[in-house]
Amino acid sequence: MDRLTQLQDALDQLATQFYSAIGFIDAHHGNEPIEGQVPMDSENGNIDMEAVQKELAADLVVKFKQIDLLIQRLPGLGVSETEQIERMSQLNKEIKAASEEQNEAVKRQNTLKSRIDNLILDLANEMGD
C-alpha cells in the first residue's frame, strides 16, 4: 500500500474515532440535574466519564502521531522544487534506458526465436527426406 493511501486510511480512521468519541460522550455524559430534580439517567453513575474521556483523548493522540509520521515519510517533503524536478528528470532517463534495454532484449528474443524456428524446420525437412 502506498503512503498516500495509508495517510488517507489513517485520516478516515481518525474521523471515525472523532465521530465515535463524540457519540459516546454525548450518549453518556450524564447531565447535571437542576437543584431539586432527580437525575434522568441513573446508569451513568457506573461510568467513570473522566477516565473514558482520557482514554478517548489518548487514542486520538496516538492516531495523530501515526498521521504525523506518515506525513513526514511522504516523498518530496523538505526537498526543494528544483531538486524534485532534477530527481524526476533522472528517473525519466533511467526509465528510457530500461525501456531501451527491454526493446533490445525483445529484438534478441525474436531473432533467437526465428533462428530456432528455422533450425526446427530444417531438422524436420531433413527427417522427412
- Element (H or E) spanning 80, and its range? none
Nearest 5°: the CA angle 116, 118, 121 is 110
Contacts of 14 (CB under 8 A, 6+ apart): 60, 63, 64, 67
Residue type, 127: M
Query: Which pTM value belongs to this model?
Result: 0.54
Closest by alpha carbon to 62, among 13, 29, 99, 25? 13
* Tens digits of residue pLDDT in 61-88: 999 999 999 998 887 777 888 988 998 9
* 7, 67 Cβ separation under 8 angstroms: yes
Rounded average pLDDT per 10-residue block, the chain, 129 residues: 89 94 82 63 64 91 95 82 90 97 97 96 87
